[in-house]
Amino acid sequence: MISAPDENTPPPPHGPAVPVARAVRQAVADGLVGPGSPVAGFVDVRGVRDSVSALRAAFGGVPDVLHTFAAKACSLVPVLRLLAAEGMGCEVAGPGELRLALDAGFAPGRIVLDSPAKTRDEIGEALRLGVALNADNLDELDRVDALRAPDSASVLGLRVNPQVGGGSIGAMSTATAHSKFGVALRDPGARERVVEAFARRPWLTRLHAHVGSQGCPLPLIAEGLAVTHRLAEEINARVGRRQVTSLDLGGGLPVNFADDRVTPTFAEYAAALTAVEPALLDGRYGIVTEFGRSLLAKNGFVAAVVEYTKDAGGRRVAITHAGAQTATRTVFMPDAWPLRVGAYGPDGTPKRTPTLRQDVAGPCCFAGDVVAHDRELPELAEGDVVVLHDTGAYYFSTPWAYNSLPRPAVHGYGCAEAGGRVRFATVRPAQTVAEISRESGLAQADALLTSFAADPAGRERRAPAGVPSRGPSPEVAGPGHP
């Protein structure tokens, strides 16, 4: 969330900023979080728009730039449609995300398809639609050769791995020696094979690289993209024409999860690129970006009810409804993905009780489902609300279905005027238990009984006593899941 303007600055047309505390209080008052709705995600609409504006301003001096949003960071159609309305393009990494981008209203020419495992059907569909495509390897270029029609409108590129090293989180570093992504440029003969691939394909006009995201410092990212720029210059010199006309810089701006500050900024990112390679953003090449987490993380939060508290080994444990199912990365890699936790009372106002060290745990049925370990917080009690900050990307939008826990509702929020009422719009309703059963094969409930009807002795297998042989079970509703 971009810092609010000072009080003498008139609010922008899309409304004033709404502090998280105000949004939480109103969400509780409106029943969006509470006994009937134990967990929900929230998207700050003003914050999203401000983040897009900051990105656009940082690249304001680049004459030809397409900013795309990495759909995997928040794969919710209403959020994607908001971003499309703000002038963004969309980066997708598979057929599901491509469908979401099209349904959200992105024009095919403003969509970029990246994936290390594109099938021939996926490549063919992208080429027919005119979606831009970055091949991940040289063999994929052979598939494009076979499938591409001469009149395809798709901009076609090749992803390379500059192999400049990794950051502090290995899983988020994609320019390492053994990364699964792109053509590894420092491997023997690889650079020459890339140049030859371009020389044989005049339609191949883009180079793509992505160094990494969380945990990768700006100088490392900048060095990897400078290597890509130098390769583009080498290719154009070798083929004797300006064949490579655009560079896809990927995304990867890290997010500060420690406090409310936005750091590093998009402006600092652009400055770091220019410091390492002044010609990178001088307009000689069209530029594509693929930011995701850095646009959405600070513009969303998860709110969850505290169901129980207990003491174990001399430490307080608060059992909440937000755990590994919505904060998967934090639960399994707590040192790499720590989250700030806010404590609110049942009325949605910040708690002022004395603090003590507590674990904040989730509802999943395994011992490691803890989102905050030994954290000093106001003493939590049954009915309180905890807030997981900076979770607008990769958290509530793509929950893990462990224990068949329902997907939480997601709501956007904003305010039309300073001091006005916070308003909400549903982005995704909470999943019902009936929907969970349908997704889990309810319509095929008898498939294993009817398809394999006899055991080796020839006896017919029957459904267990008391279990209906066919047809859906009655609709069963749980708390908050009608």
CB 174 within 8 A of CB 123: no
The overall average pLDDT reported for the chain is 90
Residue 207, pLDDT > 60, answer yes
**Do 162 and 140 meet the contact criterion of CB atoms below 8 Å apart?**
no
Q: Please give the residue that has the higher pLDDT: either 440 or 472.
A: 440
Model confidence at 458, pLDDT cuts 50, 70, 90, reads low
Q: Compute the 3-state secondary structure of the chain and give helix, strand, coil in percent, each to the nearest 5.
A: 30, 25, 45
**How confident is the model over 30-52, as a mean pLDDT?**
97
**pLDDT higher than threshold 70 for residue 476:** no
Backbone angles phi, psi at 317, to 5 degrees: -125, 125
Choice between 295 and 211, residue whose per-residue pLDDT is larger: 295
Question: Does residue 264 register a pLDDT over 50?
Answer: yes
Supply the pLDDT for residue 395.
96
pLDDT over 50 at 9, yes or no: no
Q: What is the pLDDT of residue 468?
A: 57
Is 50 exceeded by the pLDDT of residue 5?
no
Is 70 exceeded by the pLDDT of residue 3?
no
The token duo for 68 is 């795309």
Going by their DSSP bridges, the two strands 204-208 and 409-414 should be labelled as unpaired
Asked if pLDDT for residue 49 goes beyond 80, the answer is yes
Instruction: Count CB atoms within 10 A of the CB of residue 119.
Output: 12
Q: Could you read off the pLDDT of 338-374 as tens digits, one per residue?
A: 999 999 999 999 999 999 999 999 999 999 999 999 9
Percent of the chain with pLDDT over 90: 80
Which residue did the predictor score with more confidence, 10 or 42?
A: 42
Question: Is residue 460 predicted with pLDDT exceeding 60?
Answer: no
Does residue 10 surpass a pLDDT of 90?
no
Return the ∠ at Cα 448 (arms to 445 and 449), rounded to 5°: 90
**How many Cα atoms are found within 13 Å in the side-chain-facing hemisphere of 191?**
15
What is the CB neighbour count within 10 angstroms for residue 6?
6
List the structure tokens of 32. 């969006």
Tell me the pLDDT band of 90, cut-offs 50, 70 and 90: very high
Task: Please determine, for residue 461, whether its predicted confidence score (pLDDT) is greater than 80.
Answer: no
- Domain range summary for the chain, segments of one domain joined by +: 46-297
Distance CA 10, CA 393 (A): 29
> What is the rounded distance in angstroms from the CA atom of residue 76 to the CA atom of residue 78?
6
DSSP summary character for residue 481: B
How much is the average pLDDT of 292-314?
97
In the chain, DSSP finds a helix count (H) and a strand count (E) of 13, 18
pLDDT of amino acid 480: 44
Per the CB < 8 A criterion, the answer to whether 312 and 374 are in contact is no
Whether the pLDDT of residue 32 is over 80: the answer is yes
Q: What is the pLDDT of residues 114-153, one digit of tens each?
A: 999 999 999 999 999 999 999 999 999 999 999 999 999 9
pLDDT over 90 (residue 212): no
Higher-pLDDT residue of 44 and 162 is 44
Distance CA 74, CA 100 (A): 11
pLDDT at 260: 95
The pLDDT tens digits for 388-442 are: 999 999 999 999 999 999 999 999 999 988 888 999 999 999 999 999 999 999 9
Per-residue pLDDT of 172-181, as tens digits, reads 667 676 777 7
Confidence of residue 463 (pLDDT cuts 50, 70, 90): low
Mean pLDDT over residues 48-61, rounded?
Answer: 97
The confidence score (pLDDT) of residue 11 equals 40
For the structural domain made of 46-297, what CATH number should be given?
Answer: 3.20.20.10
